[in-house]
């Protein structure tokens, strides 16, 4: 099959007949976020095809006789297209989003998958004074430090102390955003696919979505157990059903070790 050649002279030509939605309120913030992502993905695809068509006239980024040029050209075209669509792009995503929702795409609420929850009141000074601090490895701290901005943002959004978030991340993944457990828990805060879906996480491997999703769940557990950090951590590991069943930290060795480890890291962060 011959490759498709693109010749576009009017970027808005093919969108002028799309139906205008008069009532933008018919879509929830979550739906608007999904529409926005779909529009940007479509723009990225169109941009990539345009770049490919343009590249064929000048022998690509790496020249006609470069070794592996075709392969790397495709990678560069896709990456450039994605970066362009994530910014202002070429306008296709804006047009699609406006035609569907009746709103400008830049009016979309930031992080609308993650609605803000009330702050959780926790008195960290009264948490296990006799527990020994656990000092994390320098390598795990170095990895963790790369996500300071995201952790701070998630902490402010959900009212969860940033040191609790850090301690959970260290315990769950040692700061490795590519961590995958034998139970298929994924990412920095080791989210299961079903839990991630319930939390509105689209890409569990995206550090921002993973941290925001995991922190949202921590906030929910802290709210459910009236700020009791131990019970919230136990429910994060074993599920709130088990915490309720045993009326406290379940008698599971894994969960008990988990709580001790997170609390040990927390004690460390509170002491520095």
Beta-ladder partners of 191: 186
Catalytic residues: 172
Taking alpha carbons only, the member of 179, 201, 185, 200 closest to residue 238 is 185
* Diameter of the chain measured on Cα atoms: 72
* Nearest Cα to Cα of residue 113 among 225, 166, 34: 34
Secondary structure class of 72 (helix, strand, coil): helix
Give the span between the Cα atoms of 163 and 265, in whole angstroms. 8
CA distance 242 to 252: 10
């Amino acid at each position: 099959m011959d490759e498709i050649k693109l010749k576009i002279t009017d970027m808005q030509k093919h969108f002028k007949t799309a139906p205008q939605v008069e009532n933008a309120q018919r879509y929830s913030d979550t739906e608007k976020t999904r529409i926005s992502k779909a529009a940007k993905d479509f723009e990225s695809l169109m941009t990539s095809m345009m770049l490919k068509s343009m590249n064929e006239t000048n022998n690509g980024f790496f020249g006609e006789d470069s070794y592996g040029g075709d392969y790397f050209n495709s990678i560069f075209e896709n990456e450039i297209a994605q970066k362009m669509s994530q910014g202002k792009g070429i306008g296709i995503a804006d047009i699609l989003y406006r035609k569907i929702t009746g709103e400008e795409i830049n009016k979309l609420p930031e992080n609308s998958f993650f609605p803000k929850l009330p702050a959780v009141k926790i008195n960290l000074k009264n948490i296990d004074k006799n527990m020994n601090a656990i000092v994390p490895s320098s390598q795990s701290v170095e990895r963790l430090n790369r996500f300071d901005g995201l952790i701070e943002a998630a902490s402010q959004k959900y009212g969860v102390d940033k040191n609790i978030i850090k301690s959970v991340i260290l315990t769950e993944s040692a700061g490795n955003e590519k961590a995958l457990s034998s139970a298929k828990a994924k990412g920095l805060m080791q989210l299961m696919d079903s839990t991630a879906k319930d939390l509105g996480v689209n890409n569990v491997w995206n550090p921002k979505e993973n941290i925001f999703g995991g922190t949202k769940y921590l906030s929910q557990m802290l709210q459910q157990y009236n700020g009791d950090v131990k019970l919230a951590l136990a429910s994060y590991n074993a599920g709130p059903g088990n915490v309720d069943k045993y009326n406290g930290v379940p008698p599971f060795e894994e969960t008990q070790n988990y709580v001790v480890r997170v609390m040990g890291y927390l004690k460390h962060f509170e002491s520095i």
